Structure 1
Amino acid sequence: MKSTIGIAVLLTVLEFACCQRIKTLTACLDKQSLRIDCRYERKTKNALTYEIRLSKDNTEGAVVAGNWNTASSIYKSRANITASDNLVCLYLHGFTTADEGVYICKLKITNDYGPQAQNITVIKDRLEKCAGISVLIQNTSWLLLLLLSLPLLQAIDFVSL
């Protein structure tokens, strides 16, 4: 019995040490589109399969988009998804209250221990507006920001070279 518990703990530790892990799942409203960002930590270069589902009544739900399973016909023409080394991003165009529910991001990397999934409840009236890309948010060094702002500082005669 003790060895079974030890093996289970070891497998759990190995799974978190070796595989991808979903770090954050966020949703926001970009004009009339829902944007869902599924950020994850990737430790290998193996192939990634992903999907985003919508569940409305605690069921498995319908596939909105992805490369794991075929998207449901009601979302196929409205959904656009992109994937990079650490982000799967869904845009659902024409988002209405009929599209509210629990969105599930599911990721699986080939030869990994198992799929990772995380969910977020989306209600249109509670969604924040998506922020634009900010130089300050992108871990840009302050020296680079200073260099980029130098022409502006020169224009207002704050710095003379």
Structure 2
Amino acid sequence: MLKKRLRKRKTTVYALGQYISMSAHKARRVIDQIRGRSYEETLMILELMPYRACYPIFKLVYSAAANASYNMNSNESNLVISKAEVSEATIVKKLKPRARGRSFAIKRPTCHINIVVKDISLDEYIEIDSLNPLKWSKKLKSKKKYTAMAYNNIYSNGGVWDKK
């Protein structure tokens, strides 16, 4: 009797940007907006956001999608940003000359940005048990979630005020 070993197909690809000259806090502000979104929606968000951190993150997302299309032959419409991380890197220290022969330390923070892209079309939802085909139908059923939209008047119940 032959045993077949099933290998799970790789569904994630990443792009890593190291020593990007910007603080990790400013990059996290942008990364939090794109985490979990689709590739096409992410590109639109990054083009329209007014932050300086958007351009290097845009390049990394584009690079991760190029890696996915080259390595896994995946379509860009099936890609989702599954994981996006920002970690602090080394701080570049410079000395600036000041008055009376003194020096002033300038600290330029850098960060590492890691973006993981997942192809949802390659995701394996079904584990096929060839001995028991009755299990197939249970795993194929999807649970539908319905959400109701509720209208709340923000002026009558003390909601969020417009900050200027």
> Taking structure 1 as the reference length, what is the TM-score of the superposition?
0.26
> Taking structure 2 as the reference length, what is the TM-score of the superposition?
0.26
Higher strand share goes to which structure?
1
Q: Which has the larger radius of gyration?
A: 2
Flag the structure with more relative contact order, 1 or 2, with Cα contacts below 8 A and sequence separation at least 6. 2
